[in-house]
Amino acid sequence: MFDKLVQVLARGAAYERISDSSCSATTIRRRRDAWIIAGIFTPLEQIALESYDRIVRLEMEELSVDGCLVKSPCGGEASDRSPADRGKQGTKRSVLVEAWGIPRGVEIAGANRHDSPLLRPTLEKLSRFGFFLPEDIRVHLEAGYDSNKTRDLLEDLGCEGHIATKGVPAPIQNTSRWDTHPTRRMDGHDRRHPAGPVSDRPAHPWRPHPRPRHPRALLAPTHHRKPAPHS
């Protein structure tokens, strides 16, 4: 049963595709919900994080935070009218990743929320690491966070801020907050159909990790077209 849940999370496939003669999709969902209620995944996730940090090492000195909108057709307490999707139900995810794009925390709220107020609860997800945190932490943010309130918050949390400047077009003054994009794509391209309403308590307490990529590779230009010759 557990290996099938791992396949669902790692591949983003529908439960019906993972199920077989030994276990139906309904049974997988039912067992998943029972384990979530029993609190099994919380200590398991912490063990996985500590093991990854010990074997591979998490690059917690450089962090990135950014928000994204996802559809929420079934509604729920963490959904709202999306300003970017003709008022349909949606959810805002504020994603925290380390230097290699490995997700370290997610704060969920209604779609009609600005990214900036979600920064504090997102960064507070770091408390789970305790004494494993490095002494110096730099947080990369986009221009939407460019305010004195954000700088005061980072100072209160003992972090250095690297914030893009409003009015200066990218990619000249890009920050490493682009590290969040592969994670958001992995999460947003989940091929499973939503099984129910969205809650501020995520239905799946651990998510698939994106393939590690060097932060600088994420800043490289994606288009190399030569200008068309003049006629």
Query: Please, which residues bridge with residue 94 across strands?
Result: 67, 107
pLDDT at 216: 38
The one-letter code for the residue type at 180 is T
In a domain, 76, yes or no: yes
What are residue 85's phi and psi, to 5 degrees? -140, 45
Q: Which residues of the chain have pLDDT under 70?
A: 130-131, 170-231
Say which residues have a Cβ less than 8 Å from residue 12's Cβ, sequence separation at least 6: 186, 189, 190, 191, 192, 208
Query: pLDDT of 43-81, one tens digit each?
Result: 888 888 888 888 988 888 999 999 888 888 777 777 778
pLDDT at 198: 45
pLDDT at 174: 52
Nearest to residue 10, comparing CAs of 204, 197, 203, 181? 204
In a domain, 208, yes or no: yes
pLDDT at 196: 46
pLDDT at 193: 44
In a domain, 36, yes or no: no
In a domain, 86, yes or no: yes
Q: Structurally, how many domains does the chain consist of?
A: 1
In a domain, 104, yes or no: yes
Question: Is 65:43 a contact under the CB 8 Å cutoff?
Answer: no
Residue 184: Cβ-neighbour burial (10 angstroms; 0-12, 13-18, 19+): buried
pLDDT at 170: 62
In a domain, 32, yes or no: no
Say which residues have a Cβ less than 8 Å from residue 125's Cβ, sequence separation at least 6: 96, 104, 105, 106, 107
- Signed CA dihedral, 64, 70, 76, 82: sign only: positive
Query: Please, which residues bridge with residue 69 across strands?
Result: 92
Q: Domain span at residue 121?
A: 58-217
Residue 197's alpha-carbon distances to 96, 188, 214, in angstroms, are 23, 16, 36
Query: pLDDT of 175-195, one tens digit each?
Result: 555 555 555 555 554 545 444
> What is the full DSSP assignment across 83-107?
TTTTT-EEEEEEEEE-TT--EEEEE
Residue 81 CA to its chain's centroid (Å): 21
In a domain, 115, yes or no: yes
Q: Which CATH number goes with the domain that contains 156?
A: 3.30.420.10
pLDDT at 27: 93
pLDDT at 139: 92
In a domain, 188, yes or no: yes
